[in-house]
Amino acid sequence: MKYPLRNIVYEKMKQDEVTTDKDLLTGLQRDGEDISMRDLNKVLMQLEILGLITLRWQTKDKRRIELVKGEKSLTRVPNE
C-alpha cells in the first residue's frame, strides 16, 4: 500500500521540524520517493493551508519550512 505523498512529507517534517525545501526534497529522494520540486510545492501548499507547517523565504531561491507545534494532526485530511 502506498501512502499519500502529503503524509510522507509530514512524517519527514515531524522528524526534522525545521528544514529547507531543497534539503527536504533531497531527503525524500534519498529515501526512495519519486518526487519533483513541483510535486513537493503542491504538498507544501496543502500542509500550509491545513496549518501544519509554515513557509518563509530564507534567500531568493530557498525556503525555510517549520513544523507548527500544536494540537492539529493529519489523521483526518480530506481527500483530493
Domain ranges, residue 28: 5-67
Task: Note whether residue 39 is domain-resident.
Answer: yes
Read off the pLDDT of residues 33-69 as tens digits, 9 standing for 90 and up.
999 999 999 999 999 999 999 999 999 999 999 999 8
**Residue 72: its pLDDT value, please?**
55
- The number of beta carbons lying within 10 Å of the beta carbon of residue 21 is 18
Task: Note whether residue 79 is domain-resident.
Answer: no
| Number of domains observed in the structure of the chain | 1
d(C-alpha 28, C-alpha 76), whole Å: 23
- Strand order across the 18-20 sheet: 18-20, 62-67, 53-59
pLDDT (mean) for 20-40: 94
CATH code of 22's domain? 1.10.10.10
